[in-house]
């Protein structure tokens, strides 16, 4: 018995010894395959640079030795400059060693700190040396500074895209647009601002812009004339198109045919009667229409939409609508409205919708939106909708959703719908139905 145990112990010791020897051999192999950064080929270092910010490349490699300095200077990565968080002292060093030597090859420039833009635009001959600059992004721009920047931007003949976000008060957005429209090579424009200001669009020349994004409250009274200034427009997105009583009706320009306009995305607070006129005048060639609307229930008239689509938007492929509103009293009309969108016209185009109605305290809340597939990045989840049989077969169609808002009740299978969500908002009176 003792001999048997002794043999077992010997076998365990031998096994442990073998494992130890094997591990030591592996460690020796790892140590013998040790590499130094200097041993890497230039091609590999350039691949590493692609995963790093330009400023990090400069700080990490520029001052190591002459080889890395030349690699940093000659890297194609230096054609795209993104200057976000950087101190003034660090920027001056970076400016003289990286920006100035590479001005002629930079094609992308993002300036997030106001003092950085002021330094670069301080002298005309400096910014004019960016002879290959195609895209510029200006963050936190002051109104007075943009007028100065523009005098140089208009001389950049290769500039195709501009993104501007304004900080603080803007004296005249009307002037801002008039300046942007003068950039003759511009194809893409994105503008962000906080305050709704006077906009006229009466005496402007036509703009070359093809892709326009406006993130800010834009008065509907100026919308007609804006479109008249954009004969080459292909894609339009406005996140707050509003009806402002304080703004008088403008002298309208003569309508033009927007034959290149294919994609329109709008968040509206405008009466349907007014918006319908815009559709008839400008939207004949569009293929994708995305609308987010509040209140006006005339947008839920299926027959009216059917006539508009048949006679004024005959090329439309995607009709994506999201309508929300509050009602004082329960209105049975909405049940009838919902049925209208299930006629053969909508079924043949494979456009499907969901209507949800909820009584909550003294208000009645309704929402109506497109589905199959659901294409938006945000989604409001209701248990009652979840229980509809038609939705269970469409789980794969919610892959576009990044922001999920849970309004009332949570069920375990909710997580099966939204595999790509990275932001979650939960209502203040959410009820958990199961232990999940």
* CA-closest candidate to residue 342, choices 357, 356, 353: 353
Top pLDDT among 235 and 120 is at 235
Distance CA 50, CA 402 (A): 27
Q: What is the pLDDT of residue 16?
A: 55
Q: What is the pLDDT of residues 266-318, one digit of tens each?
A: 999 999 999 999 999 999 999 999 999 988 889 999 999 999 999 999 999 99
Q: What is the pLDDT of residue 414?
A: 66
Q: Flag whether pLDDT at 53 surpasses 60.
A: yes
Distance CA 214, CA 205 (A): 19
Residue whose tokens read 């008839």: 280
Q: What is the pLDDT of residue 253?
A: 84
Top pLDDT among 327 and 349 is at 349
* pTM for this entry: 0.80
Q: What is the pLDDT of residue 360?
A: 63
Q: Flag whether pLDDT at 390 surpasses 60.
A: no
CA 165, 167, 173 angle in degrees (round to 5)? 70
Q: What is the pLDDT of residue 183?
A: 94
Q: Which helix (H) or strand (E) holds 114?
A: helix 114-120
320-342 average pLDDT score = 72
Q: Which helix (H) or strand (E) holds 321?
A: strand 318-327
19-47 average pLDDT score = 65
Distance CA 362, CA 346 (A): 34
Q: What is the pLDDT of residue 234?
A: 98
**Contact by Cβ (8 Å): 300, 323:** yes
Residues 6+ apart with CB under 8 A from 109: 81, 130, 133, 135, 136, 137
Residue 33 tokens, joined: 């395959």
- Please count the CA atoms within 13 angstroms of the CA of 135 that sit on its side-chain side: 10
327-332 average pLDDT score = 57
Q: What is the pLDDT of residues 142-178, one digit of tens each?
A: 888 888 888 889 989 999 999 999 987 777 788 888 8
Q: What is the pLDDT of residues 178-210, one digit of tens each?
A: 899 999 999 999 999 987 666 766 667 789 999
**Contact by Cβ (8 Å): 270, 220:** yes
- Count of C-beta atoms within a 10 Å radius of residue 261: 22
pLDDT band at 436 (very low <50, low <70, confident <90, very high): very low
Q: Flag whether pLDDT at 123 surpasses 80.
A: no
319-327 average pLDDT score = 85
Distance CA 322, CA 233 (A): 24
- Count of C-beta atoms within a 10 Å radius of residue 313: 19
Q: Which of 89-103, 180-194, 253-267, 377-391 is predicted with the least confidence, judged by mean pLDDT?
A: 377-391
Q: What is the pLDDT of residue 367?
A: 82
| C-alpha dihedral sign at 253, 257, 260, 266 | positive
Torsions phi, psi for 188 (to 5 deg): -125, 135
Q: What is the pLDDT of residue 62?
A: 77
Per cent of the chain over pLDDT 90 is 32
Q: What is the pLDDT of residue 23?
A: 46
Residues 6+ apart with CB under 8 A from 394: 371, 372, 373, 374
């Amino acid at each position: 018995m003792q001999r048997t145990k002794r043999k077992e112990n010997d076998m365990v010791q031998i096994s442990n010894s073998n494992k130890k020897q094997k591990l030591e051999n592996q460690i020796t192999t790892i140590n013998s395959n040790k590499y130094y950064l200097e041993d890497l080929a230039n091609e590999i270092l350039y691949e590493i640079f692609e995963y790093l910010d330009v400023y990090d490349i400069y700080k990490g490699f520029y001052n190591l030795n002459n080889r890395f300095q030349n690699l940093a200077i000659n890297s194609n990565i230096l054609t795209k400059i993104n200057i976000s968080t950087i101190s003034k002292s660090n920027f001056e060093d970076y400016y003289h060693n990286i920006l100035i030597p590479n001005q002629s090859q930079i094609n992308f420039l993002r300036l997030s700190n106001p003092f950085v833009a002021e330094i670069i635009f301080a002298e005309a001959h400096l910014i004019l040396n960016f002879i290959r600059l195609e895209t510029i992004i200006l963050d936190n721009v002051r109104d007075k500074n943009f007028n100065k920047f523009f005098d140089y931007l208009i001389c950049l003949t290769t500039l195709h895209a501009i993104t501007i976000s304004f900080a603080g008060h803007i004296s005249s957005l009307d002037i801002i647009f008039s300046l942007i429209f003068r950039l003759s090579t511009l194809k893409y424009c994105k503008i962000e601002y906080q305050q709704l200001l006077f906009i006229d669009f009466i005496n402007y020349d036509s703009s070359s812009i093809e892709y326009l994004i406006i993130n800010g409250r834009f008065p509907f009274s100026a919308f007609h004339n804006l479109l008249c200034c954009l004969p080459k427009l292909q894609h339009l997105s406005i996140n707050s198109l509003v009806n402002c009583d304080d703004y008088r009706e403008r002298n309208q320009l003569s309508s033009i045919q927007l034959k290149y306009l294919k994609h329109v995305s709008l968040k509206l607070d405008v009466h349907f009667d007014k918006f319908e006129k815009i559709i008839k005048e400008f939207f004949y060639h569009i293929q994708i229409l995305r609308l987010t609307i509040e209140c006006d229930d005339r947008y839920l008239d299926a027959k009216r939409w059917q006539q508009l689509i048949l006679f004024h938007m005959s090329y439309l492929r995607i009709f994506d609508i999201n309508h929300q509103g509050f009602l004082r009293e329960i209105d049975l009309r909405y049940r009838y409205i919902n049925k209208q969108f299930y006629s053969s016209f909508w079924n043949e185009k494979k456009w499907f919708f969901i209507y949800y109605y909820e009584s909550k305290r003294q208000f009645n809340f309704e929402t109506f939106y497109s589905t199959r597939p659901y294409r938006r990045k945000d989604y409001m989840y209701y248990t009652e909708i979840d229980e509809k049989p038609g939705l269970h077969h469409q789980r794969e169609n919610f892959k576009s959703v990044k922001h999920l808002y849970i309004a009332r009740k949570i069920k375990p299978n909710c997580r099966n719908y939204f595999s790509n969500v990275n932001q979650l908002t939960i209502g203040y009176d959410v009820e958990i139905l199961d232990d999940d």
